[in-house]
Amino acid sequence: MIYFGRFQYGGMLMLNNLLGMVISGGAGFRSLSPFLYGQFSMKTKLIKGNSSGTITTFYMSSQDIYKKWCEVDFEFLGNVSGQPYALQTNVYIQGVGEREQQIYLWFDPTAAHHTYRFLWNQELILFFVDNRAIRVFHKATDLGIPYLDYQPMYAIGSLWNGEAWATQGGRIKIDWTQQPFLASYTQWNVSNACKVHNFTSTDDQHACYRKAHQSSYGQAPNLALSKTQIKNLRWVRKNYVIYDYCTKNATATPECARNWP
């Protein structure tokens, strides 16, 4: 089935659903409830051919709840035919992002579905591609940096027009003769996470704090990087990073030394 526009999805699994974008607009879905800590994954197959100007996403966000929201992103920046997608990740805290990192992938993300996953607990947020760690954001409140530990976030997917900046800084626009643009989503899994039924009450949030200490995602070894994850992060940094906010402004981002092993 192809979806255009925005809809909500309450289940744990999506099977071979397509998000579509045409000149009149894109599409997106959002979980019915927000979550506080857990593992969140989605299998996605990106737009084939000329995808320049398009942005396909899987992310977590509290923007629908808070003015100064938290967010963690997978954003796939389309490109002209034959050129690789860039995967941009970002972290927003209290409504401020500007923590972008971009990498090229080591496979063709349009040929088959690949798994993109967040691990979010009380100590860190890990970004995975096919179970390979590509980024970590550690808790750094001791450095004066707030952490994403009090705002429940929705799980969201979307396909939208980002031609103002997505491809070569906005130089390459969308070729609408190629519409509709289709991205496939399947196996959305939030089964190992803590759902917040009432975000206006602190009771559910406190229950999620307790659950984190009793669940695999909030216990060792998931509270620190493993040797394999450190190896993967170093491999990605050496071979695939094309933009890193830490390199751009390292003196203003004290968390950077902690987040690249």
- Among 75, 100, 123, 255, which one carries the catalytic annotation? 75
Alpha-carbon distance of 49 to 46, in angstroms, equals: 10
Which residues, listed in sequence order, are joined to residue 29 by a DSSP beta bridge?
A: 7, 157
- For this structure, is 98 an active site residue? no
Contact by Cβ (8 Å): 154, 64: yes
Strand (E) positions, 17-142? 17-21, 27-31, 35-45, 54-61, 71-77, 86-92, 101-104, 114-120, 124-129, 132-138
Interior/surface letters 15-38, b for 16+ CB within 10 angstroms, e for the rest = eebbbbbeeeebbbbbbebbbbbb
- For this structure, is 123 an active site residue? no
- Among 71, 100, 123, 163, which one carries the catalytic annotation? 71
How many other C-beta atoms lie within 10 A of the C-beta of residue 191?
11
**Catalytic annotation, residues:** 71, 75
